[in-house]
Chains A and B, each alone.
Chain A
Amino acid sequence: MASYLVHRLIGTIPVLLLISLLVFLLIHAAPGDPTLLLLGEETNAAEVAQAKARWGLDQPLYIQYFKFLKSAAVGDFGKSFKYSEPVTRVIQSRLPATIELAIFSIIIATVLAIPLGVWAGSRPNSWLDNLGTTFGLFGISMPSFWLAIMLILLMAGVLNILPSSGRSTYGIAGLEQSGFYILDSIIQQNWKGVWDALTHIFMPALALGVNMLGILMRVTRSAVLEVMNEEYVTTARAKGLREKNVIWRHVTSNALIPVITVVGLELGTLLSGSIIVETVFAWPGSGSLLITALNARDYPLVTGLVMTYTAAFVVINLVIDGLYAVIDPRIRY
């Protein structure tokens, strides 16, 4: 297992290099000039030239790239043009919000999708199956930005039961320690803060997780349908086990492998989806930060964020590979 992981980690180096080159070239090729976007409307040519020299933009692109690679190798993505702070520090300050949101989205998606998928798959063509399939289709086809706006209109505007945006209410949230508001509030035993953070996270997590929910539900249903025809299921029934035990102990546990693969793959979608959802809900995470960085053509910050996302993808896939062995003891590396 350990040698497998080492091999996989070494294999990620060319991936990271290629991604860094692509991102670097793409962001520099995109129309728009950070100096013109960041220095205000009344800026002049002299000030623009000074900023270009300061940010190293007056040097040939290949030199800029090699300088970037050299510093990125030791975890330094340079200084953000907009924030004038090290990129790693800016990302660190925003990442907990995105991780917290992603965790909640996964919780919402899996808690609803797996039971729905199992119920639908174990009773094919029943009303429950039809309902579940329709629900899954709804989740897959629903654009997250539209759902986000609709949720705001309904839950905040009409029903007035949830806050429309943000991550916490001023005056209720306690001191920030880990950057994870819910965890911080629990540690500080600030129950009002916990409730406040939960009310704030619910809508963005739902908007972000609905798509994943739909896909997971359909994958679970298909996997359950497939496993239901296996001989060991027939054997379990023949032994006289209750149907509930057959489905949840024998069918579901064996149907989970493709579900976990999809969860892993969808985590990436979750990160990219968070870019839109965070912007709509004014969620101060790395997704909204990427939009701000792109709009300002903040090259170091954009590159740093994309590299962070890439690294997250790699790690997630490694974890998923490891989980296979835990869930299915037959799999060994």
Chain B
Amino acid sequence: MRLPVRKLRPMAFLFLLSIGLGITAGRAAAQKRVSIGVTETIETLNPYGDSVSLLYGIWSEITGPFCTYNYDKGDFEGRLAERWKVENPTTWVFYLNKNYKFNDGTPVTADDVVHSMMNRVIKDPQSKQKASVAGPIVKAEAIDKHTVKFTTDKPTAPLLGFVCDRFIVTSKAMFDKYGRDVADKEHMMGAGPYRLKELIPGQRLVIAKRPDHPEAKRNPRAPDEIVYRVMRETEQRVAALLNNEIQIAQFIPPHLRQRVEQSPNLKITATDSVEIMFLAMQPKPPFDKKEVRQAVCHAINRDQIISTLLEGFASRLDGPIGPGQYGYDPNLKPKLSYDPERSKKLLAQAGFSKGVDAALQTPVGRYTLDKQLTEAMIPMLNAAGFRAKLLTPEWPTLWAGVQKGTVPFYYMGRGSVQDPSAALHQYFHSGETPRIGYSNPKLDELLDKEQAEFDPKKRRQYLSQAMSILTEDAPACFMWRHKLLWGLNRGIDYKPLPDARIFGMDIKVVKK
């Protein structure tokens, strides 16, 4: 029997039309839904089960940020903890905002904060945030229903850098009633402006706005729903942005910027990252000699790399940190600027007038154009008298080597440097980590002093002196901070944050 093709055609047309209308209807229903293409994978419903910048931001939206760093003001400001005071150098008291309520309407109390810090962050074996969030905190106790005391094991002036935008507060009652796993999976009770709606590990996470939340009133045009979609490939994020699958795309590499800008519906916005990029040198031969380390710093033409490969989307660093970061000193000296002739002289002074081997290791695909940028450094190093070569181990291998102190020369980034204290201690203070293995008693003394100094003016002075020593002694050459490019739909008004956290309350839907 032959099929009546002619008769079927109108039916097929109607069928396709109905599907098309259905899809269009689906899109119209989600007018204030914003999808964001993100690069980190989202894998677990345990808010304490990962230690990744993006996830700290997302969970803070769901459970309510404890406190946050305001980049415009250059200071920390209260959220769930509306204010705080330093009772003595090892005791901090935080006063909770009484208007913060969990999804079920119960208020957030000091017991929830203590439970979250002690049971979830510090003591839970599943927690991966103990060092990052609790840091020096050894005890949390409730003073009254809305006041909490944190005790640290040593005076820690930059404590807010550990807890703000990171410390996640979840419901003690739910934990007690259902146990950790069921509470996280089925009764995620947060006090943030959004609530968790769906998580498909490795694919997407969806949060929905709580219109009655105090934060939600601050920005009525914030999206009703936010879909974080895992998109690791840059081409994929650009394609999804072009066809309006997503309205915000994280981290567009400079060479794809034009494709986004050519679309009338899209725009690119750039923001200075707080991630500092540097070349680290273990003080072992040949880098045990200061002259060799300084020669590396003088050999790299950072301005040329920024203007060509990075198309201007980076800011040169003349010290460990740049403008907008706590303790930045525009008059910091010395400046190890591009001077290959000086490099040659320094190498000769160090006894390497005939050149010296240097194997630079870099991750591939972890940082913006990391391989291409380090490839460009090799001829520059060679022109200055090194016999340089580039090695590109896979990230887990390189990272394990760096953390064990077995990589002599590497290109690396350190993120979340609003306040440089933790990063400087981690990489340059004697005995803290073997990542560089550098030791300088004078620097140690200054770093210890700044950490224990609660007077901001004096602390800045100590930091500035420490950073001056670092730049001069050059255990690392500080390269640049990338300007992170975000692709945005023109219907969205959003100013990305330098630490790449994404807060739904910062997004405005301006066009339906």
Q: How far is the CA of A284 from the CA of B128 in the complex (A)?
A: 23
Chain A contacts for B41, CB-based, 8 A: 292
List which B129-179 residues lie within 8 A (CB) of chain A. Answer: 129-132, 135
Query: Is B230 a contact of A31 with CB atoms below 8 Å?
Result: no
CB distance from B175 to the nearest CB of A (A): 15
Complex CA distance for A149 and B235, rounded to whole angstroms: 7
Do residues B245 and A47 form an inter-chain contact, with CB atoms below 8 A? no
What's the Cα separation between A94 and B200 when bound, in Å?
Answer: 10
Contact with B along A167-205 (1 / 0, CB 8 A): 101111000000000000000000110010000000000
Closest-CB distance, B41 to chain A (whole angstroms): 6
The proximity string for A residues 265-285 relative to B, scoring 1 for CB distances below 8 Å and 0 otherwise, is: 000000000000001111110
Set A31, A84, A152: member contacting B239, Cβ < 8 A: A152
Contact assessment for B132 and A42 in the assembled complex, using a CB-CB cutoff below 8 Å: yes
Give the chain B neighbours of A160 by CB distance below 8 A: 242-243
- Residues of B within 8 Å of A192, CB to CB, are 19, 22-23, 26
The residues of B that contact A295 with a CB separation of less than 8 Å are 395-396
Q: Contacts A42-B132, A43-B131, A279-B232 hold; do A292 and B19 have CB atoms under 8 A apart? A: no
Tell me the smallest distance from the CB of B150 to a CB of chain A, in Å.
17
Residues of A with C-beta under 8 A to B191: none
For A42, list chain B residues within 8 Å (CB): 51, 131-132, 135, 422, 426
Contacts of A57 in B (CB 8 A): none
Query: Is B202 in contact with A41, judged by CB distance below 8 angstroms?
Result: no
B252 to chain A, nearest CB (A): 13
**Quick check: A83 and B396 within 8 Å, CB to CB?**
no
B206 within 8 A of A: yes
Which residues of B are found within 8 Å of A297, using beta-carbon distances?
396
Number of A-B contacts (CB under 8 A): 148
Chain A: which residue is nearest B230 at the CB level?
A: A282
A82 interfacial contact with B, CB 8 Å: yes
Cross-chain contact of A33 among B46, B201, B403 (Cβ < 8 A): B403
Q: Chain B contacts of A279 at CB under 8 A?
A: 232
Whether A83 lies near B49 (C-beta < 8 A) is yes
Task: Flag if B51 contacts A40 (CB, 8 Å).
Answer: yes
Q: Contacts of B49 on A, CB cut-off 8 Å?
A: 82-84
Q: Is the CB of B26 within 8 A of A172?
A: yes
Contact of B233 with A by CB under 8 A = yes
Asked if A163 lies at the interface with its beta carbon under 8 angstroms from chain B, I say yes
Q: Which of B432-479 contact A (CB under 8 A)?
A: 433
CB within 8 Å of A: which of B415-437? 415, 422, 426, 433
B231 at the interface (CB under 8 A from A): yes
Residue A318 is within 8 A (CB to CB) of chain B in the complex = no
Instruction: State whether B26 touches A44 (Cβ < 8 A).
Output: no
Within 8 A of A (CB), among B239-270: 239-240, 242-243, 245
Known: A156-B245, A282-B230. A39 touches B131 (CB 8 A): yes
Residues of B within 8 A of A37 (CB): 396, 399-400
A32 touches B397 (CB 8 A): yes
Q: Contact check, A36 vs B245: say whether CB atoms are below 8 A apart.
A: no
Q: Are B243 and A284 in contact (CB under 8 A)?
A: no
A31 touches B243 (CB 8 A): no
- A155-170 to B contact mask, C-beta < 8 Å, 1/0: 0110010011111011
B372 beta carbon closer than 8 Å to chain A: no
Evaluate whether A164 and B245 lie within 8 angstroms (CB atoms) in the complex, with A40-B51, A157-B238 already known: yes
Interface size class of B (residues with CB under 8 A): 35 or more
Closest to B44 in A: A83
Q: Given contacts A166-B203, A279-B232, is CB(A171)–CB(B26) below 8 Å?
A: yes
- Contact code string A40-69 (vs B, CB < 8 Å = 1, else 0): 111110010010001000000000000000
B233 contact set on A, CB distance < 8 A: 149, 152, 280
At the interface, is chain B mostly helix, strand, loop or mixed? mixed
When distances are taken between beta carbons in the complex, the residues of chain A under 8 Å from B22 are: 192
Tell me which of B128, B235, B422 contacts A153 (CB under 8 A). B235
- A38 and B396 form a contact (CB under 8 A): no
**C-alpha gap A93/B400 in the complex (Å):** 30
Determine which of B44, B51, B131, B206 lies in contact with A170 in the assembled complex, contact meaning CB atoms within 8 Å: B206
**Contact call A170/B198, Cβ cutoff below 8 A:** yes
Query: Is B43 an interface residue when CB atoms closer than 8 A count as contact?
Result: yes
Decide if B43 touches A282 in the complex (CB within 8 Å).
no
Known pairs A156-B240, A157-B242; A36 contacts B403 (CB<8 A): yes
Chain A 84-113 near chain B by CB (<8 Å), digits 1 or 0: 100000000110000000000000000000
Most chain B beta carbons < 10 A, residue from A43, A44, A167: A43
Other-chain contact of B128, A39, A164, A170, A282 (Cβ < 8 Å): A39
Tell me if B227 counts as interface (CB < 8 A to partner A). yes
Distance between A1 CB and nearest chain B CB, rounded to angstroms: 40
Bound form: Cα–Cα A93–B451 in Å: 46
Which residue of chain A has its CB nearest to the CB of B406? Answer: A31
**Do the beta carbons of B239 and A156 come within 8 Å of each other?**
yes
What are the residues of chain A within 8 A of B200 when measuring CB–CB? 167, 284
8 A Cβ contacts from B481-505 to A: none
- Pair B46/A84 contact, Cβ less than 8 Å: yes
CB-CB under 8 A from A219, the residues of chain B are none
A47 engages B202 (CB within 8 Å): no
Distance in angstroms from A84 CB to nearest chain B CB is 4
Report the separation of the CA atoms of residues A258 and B198 in the bound assembly, to the nearest whole angstrom: 46
Cβ–Cβ < 8 Å partners of A163 in chain B: 240, 245
Per-position binary interface string of chain B over residues 404-415, scored 1 when its CB falls under 8 Å from any chain A CB and 0 otherwise: 100000000011
Report chain A residues within 8 Å CB of B129.
40
Chain A residue at minimal CB-CB distance from B403: A36
Most buried by B among A32, A163, A165, A279: A165
Taking a contact as CB atoms under 8 Å apart, the answer to whether A292 and B400 are in contact is no
Asked if B125 CB lies within 8 Å of chain A CBs, one says: yes
A165 near B231 with CB under 8 A, answer: yes
Q: Are A31 and B245 CB-contacts (below 8 A) given A192-B19, A284-B202?
A: no
Nearest chain B CB to A203 CB, angstrom units? 11
Q: Does B396 lie within 8 Å of A164, measured CB to CB? A: no
Q: Is B204 an interface residue (CB 8 A)?
A: yes
Which chain A residues border B433 with CB–CB below 8 Å? 44
Query: Nearest chain A CB to B281's CB is how many angstroms away?
Result: 20
Q: Which 6 A-B pairs have the closest CB atoms?
A: A40-B51, A32-B396, A157-B239, A284-B202, A31-B397, A160-B243
14 further A-B contacts with Cβ under 8 Å, apart from A39-B51, A281-B236, are A31-B397, A31-B400, A32-B400, A39-B128, A40-B132, A44-B433, A84-B46, A163-B240, A166-B229, A171-B33, A192-B22, A195-B23, A280-B236, A288-B202
Q: List 22 A-B contacts (CB under 8 A).
A: A30-B396, A32-B396, A36-B400, A38-B128, A39-B51, A42-B132, A42-B426, A82-B43, A84-B46, A94-B201, A94-B202, A156-B243, A157-B243, A164-B243, A166-B203, A170-B33, A170-B204, A281-B236, A282-B230, A284-B202, A292-B43, A296-B396
